[in-house]
Amino acid sequence: MHRRQLLKGLAIASASSLLSSCGKKLVRATVSRPLCLPRVNVSSDRIIRSICGLRPYRRSGFVVRPEQIGDTLVVHNYGHGGAGITLSWGTAKLAVDLGAPGHSGPAAVLGSGVVGLSTARLLQNSGFQVTIYAKDLPPNTTSNVAGGFWYPVTLFQEQFRTAAFNDQFTRACNFAFTRYQTMVGPRYGVRWTSTFLLAQSAFPNAGDFSQKGVVGSLTPEFRDLGPGQHPFAGYEFARGFDTLLIEPPIYLTALMQDFLIAGGKVQVREFHEAAELSRLPERLVFNCTGLGAKALFNDEELTPVKGQLTFLLPQPEIDYSVVHGGLYMFSRQDGIVLGGTHDEGNWSLDVDKQVRDQIIAGHKQFFDSMRAC
């Protein structure tokens, strides 16, 4: 694992420009008192586990489109890269709007990760009887591995986006952000978190989150902090805003419960080729197989981006999230999540000890040097 790969992920500038196309917000330019935040206690003896997952990445972004296969209408909804938790409700809405009008009878959803479950729930809300068919159920999905930070990044490369994709992306961001807000609370494991992105030079687009005429604010409490206004030594600038943190182990369990309570059925089943769909009783099928769509529907663009997370013992007093130098920290009930690796094309789910040590060392240096209150 090269350092380049380790640090590649959440590039702060591109994250800012992403959100520029996703929402708008007025800026509070100055803050009078320096921020006071508790430190994360990073040390090897506080590690409780390390896990890996494969992000289903496409350089031109996710796929939401209909395809007629024989007498079955298949609506694809996959390829969310590092933002499947974030966008799940949004692309589910796009997919259901494409497939549901004019259809009567039951519907099928392939996959029970966050995208499949959200799609299934919106179909139920529209009055359909739904069966989920999936090879693996939670907790054995990529969605269960995710950090759960609501932030639409690492799901495309800028030069491969199309205008049609931009439109879908914007609609998905807005719908998902609003929908998650109705789920804040302990039952779903969703809460607000203050977030800080750090950089050595002033952020681009400061104050301009209004490009492209998008409605709504996706970054409440947005503010830029200069030198002396934040406790993060080693970084000149901090950009702060509030966003949502979704704890996948709690959230996916609750979503599956909601699905079953609403009369949904689940069948554990693996599909090997698209032709098998014609043998299902449903004539409307939503393909939410994540990385599985590569083999099932011959999508050559779909590729894994391996991510590795290391968890430290929980520290309930840490109520903020931070992204620094490509690394990130989220504070969850089941532990402090330390991550930031993006290894494209790597299919291995093995934990790399060297990468784990690099993640720990990077975060330790960062938090140990934070200025005390």
Ligand X SMILES: Cc1cc2nc3c(=O)[nH]c(=O)nc-3n(C[C@H](O)[C@H](O)[C@H](O)COP(=O)(O)OP(=O)(O)OC[C@H]3O[C@@H](n4cnc5c(N)ncnc54)[C@H](O)[C@@H]3O)c2cc1C
Binding site for ligand X (CB under 6 A): 53, 55-56, 78, 80-86, 110-116, 134-136, 141-143, 145-149, 270-271, 288-292, 296, 307, 309, 339
In whole angstroms, the minimum distance from the beta carbon of 202 to ligand X comes to: 26
Task: CB nearer to ligand X: give 231 or 287.
Answer: 287
The DSSP code sequence of 144-168 is HHS--B----SS--GGG--HHHHHH
For residue 78, what are the β-bridge partners?
A: 63
As a whole number of angstroms, the distance between CA 9 and CA 111 comes to 26
In whole angstroms, the minimum distance from the beta carbon of 36 to ligand X comes to: 26
In whole angstroms, the minimum distance from the beta carbon of 48 to ligand X comes to: 16
The amino acid at residue 62 is F
Task: CB nearer to ligand X: give 23 or 116.
Answer: 116
Query: Can you give the length of the chain in residues?
Result: 373
Task: CB nearer to ligand X: give 357 or 368.
Answer: 357
- C-alpha 325: how far from chain center: 19
In whole angstroms, the minimum distance from the beta carbon of 88 to ligand X comes to: 7
Task: CB nearer to ligand X: give 131 or 289.
Answer: 289
In whole angstroms, the minimum distance from the beta carbon of 57 to ligand X comes to: 8
The residues, any chain, with a CB within 8 Å of residue 65's CB and separated by 6 or more, are 75, 76, 98
What phi and psi values does residue 13 have, to the nearest 5 degrees? -60, -45
In whole angstroms, the minimum distance from the beta carbon of 102 to ligand X comes to: 26
Task: CB nearer to ligand X: give 292 or 326.
Answer: 292
Do 63 and 162 form a contact (C-beta atoms < 8 A)? no
Do 56 and 267 form a contact (C-beta atoms < 8 A)? no
Collapsed DSSP state (helix, strand, coil) of residue 172: helix
- Strand 223-225 and strand 237-246: the pairing is antiparallel
Task: CB nearer to ligand X: give 225 or 360.
Answer: 360
Collapsed DSSP state (helix, strand, coil) of residue 250: helix
Report which DSSP code applies to 58.
-
319 conformational bin, left if phi > 0, alpha if psi -120 to 50, beta if neither: alpha
In whole angstroms, the minimum distance from the beta carbon of 225 to ligand X comes to: 23
In whole angstroms, the minimum distance from the beta carbon of 207 to ligand X comes to: 25
As a whole number of angstroms, the distance between CA 274 and CA 255 comes to 27
Task: CB nearer to ligand X: give 123 or 225.
Answer: 123
As a whole number of angstroms, the distance between CA 267 and CA 264 comes to 10
Collapsed DSSP state (helix, strand, coil) of residue 110: strand
As a whole number of angstroms, the distance between CA 10 and CA 5 comes to 11
In whole angstroms, the minimum distance from the beta carbon of 229 to ligand X comes to: 27
Nearest CA to 95 out of 176, 153, 216 is that of 176
Task: CB nearer to ligand X: give 162 or 267.
Answer: 267
Task: CB nearer to ligand X: give 231 or 363.
Answer: 363
